[in-house]
Amino acid sequence: MGRSGAGKTSMRSLIFANYSASDTRRLGATIDVEHSTVQFMGDLGLNIWDCGGQHKYLDNYLNEQKESIFGNVEVLIFVFDLETTNKDREYTLYDECLLNLAQYSRDAKVYCLVHKMDKILDSDQKAAMVETYKKALNKRSDMFQPGVYGTSIWDHTLYQAWSQIVYALVPNMATIKRHLSNFCRLTDAAEVVLFERATFLVVCCTSGDEDEPQLEKYMTISQGIKHYRNTCTEQTSPFRSVHIRTRAYSLFVEPFTKSTYILVITADPEIEPAVTKANIDAARSHFAKLAD
């Protein structure tokens, strides 16, 4: 949801349809509602409703079709356009959406993406802008605690926000996470990250030591690999795995279960790469039960 031209379809194409950021320029306006179903993490089917942002459609959603649009919603993603000329209208629309959401699907989660953050160059200003949006939105949405993220299709922030959304969506995430950190401990790995196979979104990550996992690093890796995978496909030799060994660390990106890729980084040079690889292979069947 969001006003016209906010970047909803661009966002969807980038994440789920392997578009590159510059490809989205050729997208036209979305007419009415575009439904798409994405298989995510095996059996989890995401029904994405990309709602056109033009006035006449919005009126429709909020009046005649409100039951079908707002019924059975799991997640509402509201896209704010940073460059909008009329902020109040955007907020009014948001309020109306939430009102309907409260009526038809009370348990839905709400995410607000402040989009086109690349228009602001300074990082302090960026943070300040997200903060203002956060305050304003928290005031407006009492019963839904929205997650507010600043995003841009030109860097990894969009992936970061979507990873958070996905994280909340996958039902047995806590179990997966527990098993993953177990695996991390057993293989003596420094960091283990699970990616979704089709979108390369970060699903889950753990690290051996108690440090905060470096989400940004994984985002950059995931985006790099996603991009590279497209290049490989152009060369008619689809990408399978990467394995980097240096004296300081060893890094694996391997296909894991049917729906995931795994990234394992070991920092101890004493660990033979073959051992790590064997461990990954051994863990595969176990995780197949959990994640597929």
Partner 1 sequence: MNGYGSSTHAGGSGTSIGMYGQGLGNTGLTTETGSDQGVAPHKDQLADRRVMFMGLPRSGKTSIIKVVLDNEQAYDTLGLLSTTQRTEHRMMPGITVYDFPGIDDYAESQYIVLNPDIYEGEHTSLVFVVDSQSDIQSAITALFSVMRTAQSVNPHIPINVFINKIDGLSEELKQDIQHDIQQRVLKNMSFENLNCDHMHFLLTTIYSESIKEAFSKVIQYLVPQHSSLEAIINSFCSKSSLDKVLLIDFSTKIYLATDSSPTYSPRYTFACKTIDVIDEISALCGSYVPVDEDDLPLQRINVALDGYEDIFIYQISPSLTLFCFGPPQIISQTSLLEFNGSKVAKAIRKLLPI
Return residues touching partner 1 (CB under 8 A).
217, 220-221, 224-225, 227-228, 231-232, 235-249, 251, 265
Q: Which is nearer to partner 1, 49 or 249 (CB)?
A: 249
Amino acid at 280: I
Q: Judged by CB, which is closer to partner 1: 85, or 236?
A: 236
Residues 6+ apart with CB under 8 A from 91: 136, 140
As measured in angstroms, the least distance from the Cβ of 253 to partner 1 is 8
- Which two structure tokens, joined as six digits, stand for 278? 């064997």
What CA–CA distance (Å, rounded) separates 50 from 177? 30
Considering the complex, what minimum distance in angstroms separates the CB of residue 208 from partner 1? Answer: 14
Closest CB 234 distance from partner 1, rounded Å: 9
* Cβ pair 34, 56 in contact under 8 A: no
Nearer CB in complex with partner 1: 22/37: 22
Query: What residues contact 109, with CB distance under 8 A and at least 6 apart?
Result: 74, 75, 76, 144, 147, 168
Nearer to partner 1, 134 or 277 (CB): 277
In whole angstroms, give the CA distance from residue 214 to residue 230: 25
Distance of CA 290 to the CA centre of its chain: 20
241 alpha-carbon distance from chain centroid: 22
The answer to whether residues 3 and 81 touch, using CB atoms and an 8 Å cutoff, is yes
Q: Which is nearer to partner 1, 140 or 217 (CB)?
A: 217
Q: How far apart are CA 149 and CA 165, in angstroms?
A: 11
Q: In whole angstroms, how close is the CB of 98 to partner 1 at the nearest point? A: 39
Cβ 273 to partner 1 shortest distance, Å = 8
CB of 239 to partner 1, least distance (A): 6
Question: Among residues 106 and 227, whose Cβ is nearest to partner 1?
Answer: 227
